[in-house]
Amino acid sequence: MILYDLVNQKQAHFSPNSWRVRMALAHKGLSYEVSDLLFGGVPRISPTGEKRTIPTIEHAGRQVTDSWEIVRYLDDAFPNTPRLIADATHSAESHVLKFFQYWVQTTLHAGIARLVMLDLHNSLHPDDHAYFRSSREKQIQKTLEDFQAGRETRVDDFRKSLQPLRLALAHGPFVSGDQPGYADYLAFGAFQWARLSSPFKVLAEDDVVHAWFERCLDLYDGLGRRELAA
Amino acid sequence: MILYDLVNQKQAHFSPNSWRVRMALAHKGLSYEVSDLLFGGVPRISPTGEKRTIPTIEHAGRQVTDSWEIVRYLDDAFPNTPRLIADATHSAESHVLKFFQYWVQTTLHAGIARLVMLDLHNSLHPDDHAYFRSSREKQIQKTLEDFQAGRETRVDDFRKSLQPLRLALAHGPFVSGDQPGYADYLAFGAFQWARLSSPFKVLAEDDVVHAWFERCLDLYDGLGRRELAA
């Protein structure tokens, strides 16, 4: 198994969606090799020129792209490992988990981007700077500098938006209960992305979400913690 | 089975948390009687004076309070009906559903309250006005009038906060997929509460969330739609 993944200037694997897959692979006890790329290398992942995004895995001669599709593939291809996304007989449960992924995307990813986007740019390999700036400034319709400005006063709103996560963590050490599950890995990816891309503290240290994130960093012999923080 | 439920001045059952249970009972095909109450009657639900909230059900000589506990009770007491909350062997799934309930509470209930709280007060039976005003104004630290003021300019922010729900509804007619599940009933309760308490349009008519809500109103022979709107 090969995981195609992005690295920044410090060789840290900062992609939030890749962390979902990295944690899923560790949860299942599956081993793999990593193929490190810059953004500029992504179009060369597919030998036949098909569109790929990060993360992409290659297994048994096949490439699978998109974190959700990859985890479903792993659930099916390795039926003797613990499932992370409920199967078709529990369709309601997998849909609610997908909602959780959308909450992560719209609240955590979008919220964190507003706090660290310029730092993230600066953490990338210089060869990626021009691509990152032009593609992201086109999306956000302002400069990276303007987008990140004022974060000290805006960070409180971001922290308030974590309230449902905070309430859920009153029921156990993990979002998924006594043991971590895919919901934890979805949310973990977002905070790990922040940690690897910027020194800015997106979480207050006395927040239960902070304590949960530290617990996630310790999982699987400190798999997440070993990655070099910004 | 008896469901203790609140009514407003129009005799509409407006409690969002009761709608979770009403839809769950319909989903399971269970019949029940309703005991209508004003807020002032809630302390008399328990014959022994124990604390009860709305909804409370009475079944087989026992009272169960809190919507989540009631639905778990129904899942266990009627094992031949479709489960709504995953059992202990699928603990991760029930935790993610509980997160969804917290999202409903912090985003939908809190957001809708900011748009209709004064209308809600005015829709209540006059005997409940003093209790409702004093208890809610103590929580929100302002008058109901000030709390609701400016909703025309604030409603866009509320609609934006529905984005994860909107994205989830791209995968099927219901949050839970092809068929409605408890996540749908959790979110439905919030919008039904708004519909029964205020003429203010919290949803834009061209929103997929609006179309989903209309579908939910049609479920079970129009159970939700029969209730008299404000």
* Interval A35-70: pLDDT, tens: 999 999 999 999 999 999 999 999 999 999 999 999
| Cβ pair B164:A92 closer than 8 A | no
Q: Which of B12, B47, B77 finishes a domain?
A: B77
Q: Which of B42, B77, B112 finishes a domain?
A: B77
Report the gap between the CA of B169 and the closest CA in chain A (Å).
Answer: 9
> Both B134 and B183 in a single domain?
yes
CATH number at residue B31: 3.40.30.10
Smallest Cβ–Cβ distance between A96 and the set B96, B107, B179 belongs to B96
> Both A93 and A188 in a single domain?
yes
pLDDT at B88: 87
Average pLDDT along chain A:
97
> Both A128 and A211 in a single domain?
yes
Q: Among candidates A166, A155, A165, A158, which has minimal Cα distance to A200?
A: A155
Q: Which of B77, B102, B126 finishes a domain?
A: B77
Q: Which residues in chain B are contacts of A99 at CB distance < 8 A?
A: 100, 164-165, 168, 175, 183
Q: Name the band, by pLDDT with cuts 50, 70 and 90, for residue A89.
A: confident
Report the gap between the CA of B128 and the closest CA in chain A (Å).
Answer: 30
CA–CA separation, B163 and A157 (whole Å)? 17
> Both A9 and A117 in a single domain?
no
> Both B73 and B101 in a single domain?
no
| Domains: count for chain A | 2
Note the pLDDT tens digit of each residue in B81-115. Answer: 999 999 988 999 999 999 999 999 999 999 999 99
Smallest Cβ–Cβ distance between A99 and the set B86, B93, B183 belongs to B183
Is position B84 within any domain?
A: no
pLDDT at B22: 98
Q: Which residues in chain B are contacts of A174 at CB distance < 8 A?
A: 95
Q: Name the band, by pLDDT with cuts 50, 70 and 90, for residue A88.
A: confident
Report the gap between the CA of B116 and the closest CA in chain A (Å).
Answer: 21
User: pTM for this structure?
Assistant: 0.97
> Both B179 and B201 in a single domain?
yes
Q: Which residue of A has its CA nearest to B173?
A: A95
Average pLDDT (A160-180) is: 97
- Residue B114, domain extent: 90-222
> Both B67 and B106 in a single domain?
no
Q: Give the residue ranges of chain B where pLDDT is below 50.
A: none
CATH number at residue B145: 1.20.1050.10
Going from the C-alpha of A62 to that of each of A2, A37, A47, A80, the distances in angstroms are: 10, 19, 11, 20
| Cβ pair B168:A99 closer than 8 A | yes
Is position A229 within any domain?
A: no
> Both A118 and A142 in a single domain?
yes
**A157 in contact with chain B, both atoms CB, cutoff 8 A:** no
Note the pLDDT tens digit of each residue in B59-69. Answer: 999 999 999 99
| Cβ pair B99:A95 closer than 8 A | no
CA–CA separation, A5 and A24 (whole Å)? 15
> Both B206 and B97 in a single domain?
yes
